[in-house]
Amino acid sequence: MATAMLRDDDGYSFRDLNKNGRLDPYEDARRPVEERVENLLLQMTLEEKAGAIFHTMTGVGGGGADDSSVNGGPSVTEMIETRLMNHFNVFGGAAPRVMAEWSNFLQALAEGTRLGIPITLSTDPRHSFSNNPATNFKAEGYSTWPESLGLAATDDLELVQSFADCARQEYLAVGIRVALHPMIDLATEPRWARANGTFGEDAALASRMVAAYIRGFQGESLGPHSVACMTKHFPGGGPQMDGEDAHFAYGREQVYPGDNFEYHLIPFEAAFEAGTAQIMPYYGMPVGLPLEEVGFGFHKEVITGMLRGRFGFDGVVCTDWGLLTDKEIGGTVMVARAWGVEHLSVEERTAKAIEAGVDQFGGEACPDVVVALVQAGVVSAARLDESLRRLLRDKFRLGLFDDPYLDLDASERIVGSEAFLLAGVEAQRRSIVLLKNGDAPGGKALPLGTELSIYVENVSAEAAAAYGRVVSSIEDADVAILRLATPYEPRVTDFLESFFHAGDLSFPEEELSRILGILARVPTVVDIYLERAAVNPEIAAQSAAFLASFGSSDEALLDVIFGRHSPSGKLPFELPSSMEAVREQKEDLPYDSESPLFPFGHGLAY
């Protein structure tokens, strides 16, 4: 069995030679992890240490070919062999066997370096329906589950842990060992474009979810069969001013007009209790608090004082992606999210983040900067070693030094297995929320009967044909079924911004009139995909039945509409009654809009 090997300065494997009394961690793998870490740390050069504290994106090379750079960046071969990096965020994907082959290719490259330190691969969520290259995406071959909001809508801890366990096995099969999730920010500001990745606005619900989630990925403790969780975004990224996102300069402010900072820490306490291995601070910078107004990745009071001191967290702290350098993405220059320290040089930003307590830089590949800072005495070698101990400890605990290579046949057998696919579909059904079912007592619209003529929009006609006769004209229909999505304000000033659905939550007048025209002509069942808390009182009032979904196939939705599955989901956030109510509420307070159309926790059944 091939394994990565430590090598001494002469190039000998420690399996062959043990010189100068050095402990060989391969010949005595049962020794404590901390001892193995110290042994390896003694062998590392400054350049090797600097490479290990960078964690950037790489594409997936096909068939072992080195074509895996991202946006014109350095190739993965250069990053491993020259920049001495060994942590990578998998950007995009490929068929499971191709990903497993590529993972083995990377590990072989790493084994050929002086110390043979294995690669740690990470990923954003890849099991749901959304597709934002900066946050999450639907990847080829994996089982498909609801978004995190949908998991929260089930409020079923066994289901959430089951999801995480399935995802863990699929990740392991392709070599992914760090999940850049869960995202446990609280969606207390309904306009926020990233509400979709959260468990909603309620701290107690999010706390229950994150504990089950981490147990499913990591187990009771981090080990060879775990995927480490990088829980984000400390200390809670939900209360963004006016709901604008901190990926962009206009959304950098994080505000607490309701004096509710502590509320957003509650889910993190549950994550610490569950043993999350790693933590990611957010881009946002606190405004109006007795804290330095700099992004949380540069914030010593928050990282060292609060995260390390108050909560006693001693795991890896990795910044969110792109705090140090500007990058060209999709033909647009994305400035570094160095909020509050924009005036500092790359070197000064790097030093400030390290001083704040950061162990690793996400989305960056400039270890030469750290080398220069240590050589100049700006960053001490001892401080760098603190971070290396945490990073190496996780590699050892995950078993990467013992055997990082994958069974290609197993990757095809495990990823997207029938059992995982069926479990995902069942979770999709259970996440759907029935908001309204007819108007008068006893006048329920759902479940629909059989042998109906059905008009559909944004629903597969082929899927609907299994439940009734699909017609192309509203006039010929007994019932209409519409699938809608939460409205947003299109923004296309750059490549990345177009993927963040922000701004107004209500339908434009022209589209609203068209939808209401359908509702006036035929009894209509409306489902709305809630990636944020849509404002739609007119549609709710005039629909025959109104449902909310958080990532579900047409088949899963139709099973609920036609009674093959009884709805059981509950809203993980309230639905406001108007945009005026949204604008009047405070960004940091949950369930804070006046006279909500549907309150948090609402959900009917039949």
Active-site residues: which are they? 320
90 with 177: CB under 8 angstroms? no
Q: Which of 530, 540, 477, 485 is nearest to 508 (CA)?
A: 485
Q: Which residues contact 587 (CB under 8 A, 6 or more apart)?
A: 188, 189, 238, 239, 240, 241, 242, 243, 255, 256, 257, 258
Give the whole-angstrom CA distance, residue 52 versus residue 271. Answer: 25
Give the whole-angstrom CA distance, residue 222 versus residue 288. Answer: 38
Two tokens at 279?
Answer: 């933590």
* Residue 473 burial by Cβ neighbours in a 10 Å radius (0-12, 13-18, 19+): exposed
**Within 10 Å of residue 11's Cβ, how many Cβ atoms?**
8
Give the whole-angstrom CA distance, residue 241 versus residue 365. Answer: 31
Go through the chain and tell me how many residues it has.
606
Two tokens at 514?
Answer: 């068209």
Handedness of CA 416, 418, 419, 421 (dihedral sign): positive
* Residue 459 burial by Cβ neighbours in a 10 Å radius (0-12, 13-18, 19+): buried
Give the whole-angstrom CA distance, residue 196 versus residue 200. Answer: 8
356 with 323: CB under 8 angstroms? no
